[in-house]
Amino acid sequence: MAPVTIGLLGLLALILLIAARLPIGYAMIVVGAGGIAWLNGPGILLNQLKTLAYGQFSIYDLSVVPMFILMGALATRTGLSRDLFRAANAWFGWMRGGTAMASIAACAGFGAVCGSSLATASTMGKVALPELRRFGYSPALATGSIAAGGVLGILIPPSVALVIYAIIVEANIVAMFAAALIPGLISVGMFLVTIAIYVRVFPGSGPVGGAEDRAAFWAATRGVIPTLIVFGIVIGGIYAGLYNPTPAAAIGVFAVLVFGLLRRTLGLRDLRDSVLETAATTGMIYLILLGAELLKIFMSRARVPQAAAEWAVNSGLTPMAVLLILLLALVLLGCLMDSLSMILLVLPFFWPVLSEINGGLYQGAEGSGFGMSTEDLKIWFGILALVVVELGLITPPVGMNVFVISSLARDVPMATTFRGVAPFFGAEIVRVAILLSLPALSLWLPRVIAGG
């Protein structure tokens, strides 16, 4: 049997195992290890396993992952989410639909210290949903705005998914963080505009809130100072070149810990729970990383990525058409699995295709390949990939963020929540089109930082 055929059978087996609800990390390990043993024998497999785990987990840049996870776990327990929502509501609550806008703004702020979409949606759902209900928001807008706001956690830096992507394609983590900032802010702005339009089309869905008096307004605004300080220390320090992402994450953990202790919102039980949550999440991510590496070795030996790249180059499709096909596949896959698993699963196949197209055709002239260097392509594709992964998180039938919000609002039918996220889905489609048309939105800030 041809190696490529064995590789395709392995992919089919992987899909069946995932459909059978085997955790994706174990599924990739089973298929990867079985495929290597089939192609090259058990001796080669054992030789790979001898050093593979150490080689994967001893990467210095990877140590940033548990630090950012711990920072998010501590931030959840220090009350930062509550303070962010209170401040955002003071700024937007007086407008029609203002409390829903406040939910989006608070999700963006919490994403800046959390880095996880599911955690952002879950945490802000607990804070914002009761307020949205109290002010009489329609169930669709209340649940839909939080589910959509949660997706901001995957792109607004610091983001665990961005770190993993950068490690896989060997991109600069600082450049990826810089590239994500403008697209993330564009998303926030488009979501706010979407709510403003929605509540004018459906006036009863989002009432006008009451304005805070001056003292309450400034008291609420001061509540965001800890988040701004943490974001400034972590991301500002990285952008300024004061330190790399790993020490920045450690400093961020320390800053959140200090704020929690000073405000007496963190106890020993909170610290223990945060560490245990970090250990469990990190262990899951590392297991998926190990499985992804085994699967990548198997697929490389079966020459599946090479065959896919050759097909793309010889297909007669334009580079942009190939890119659109890959992005559509990411949207569909995002409906069925979490963002990190999907990135680890598909990047070993997608990136070689784009790299081959760009490397084979790019001659430095506009219109050849993608008209950019491989390093720029890594950054641009990474941002596009994460944006469409966001789409998958709110796309039926299995939008992960919608499931999270539905678990918090059990009296709201899931169909109602999907109806509520539909306008935000449309806004995300527009953002994808903008980022595809204007790569400079993703590439400008990394170039400025590199030049500085």
Q: How many helices, marked H, and strands, marked E, lie in the chain?
A: 22, 0
Peptide bond into 158 cis (omega under 30): yes
Nearest-CA neighbor of 344 among 23, 3, 13?
23
In this prediction, residue 430 carries a pLDDT of 92
pTM above 0.75, yes or no: yes
In this predicted model, what pLDDT tens digit does every residue of 141-191 receive, in sequence order?
988 898 888 888 778 887 888 888 888 888 888 889 889 889 989 999 999
The rounded distance, in Å, linking the Cα atoms of 381 and 288 is 22
Q: Is the peptide bond before 397 cis (omega within 30 degrees of 0)?
A: yes
pLDDT of amino acid 365: 39
Q: What is the pLDDT of residue 65?
A: 85
pLDDT at 452: 52
Residue ranges per domain, the chain? 1-58+292-302, 61-280
pLDDT in the model for residue 197: 92
Q: Which residues of the chain have pLDDT under 50?
A: 361-367
* pLDDT reported for residue 47: 84
Paired with 208 in beta bridges are 96
